[in-house]
Amino acid sequence: MLTLEGIFVSLVSHLRSLHCAISPDQLAKLLGVSRRSIYDAVKAGELPYFHLRSSIKFDPGQVADWLEAQMPTRVHVLAAAHRAKEQ
């Protein structure tokens, strides 16, 4: 059975496995939100991002860190344990 905690841990692990910048569309798909939600979060200064010329890009590791900071404490502990297990 997949739990909300499992989804967060899996998502964080997936983000950490990526080794290239991702686009707003890719991040929206990963997080299950609209592209507009991603741009709104960027505009509000809620998501870590960088510009590459006129494009907005995201460092997957920074997004994983941000996502962990948004998680409830129990999920954060599970994500840290999962990350340690992978190393």
Average pLDDT, whole number, for the chain?
Answer: 82
pLDDT at 73 over 80: no
Alpha-carbon torsion (70, 75, 77, 80), positive or negative? negative
Please give the Cα distance from 56 to 3 (Å, whole number). Answer: 31
Domain containing 58 equals 4-86
pLDDT digits (tens, 9 = 90+) for 16-56: 999 999 999 999 999 889 999 999 999 999 999 999 899 99
Q: What is the pTM of this model?
A: 0.73
Alpha-carbon distance of 68 to 63, in angstroms, equals: 9
- Within 10 angstroms of residue 32's Cβ, the number of other Cβ atoms is 9
Q: State whether residue 66 is helix, strand or coil.
A: helix
| Total of domains in the chain | 1
Task: Indicate the burial class of 55 (C-beta count within 10 angstroms; 0-12, 13-18, 19 or more).
Answer: exposed
* Residue 9's CATH number: 1.10.10
pLDDT of residue 10: 80
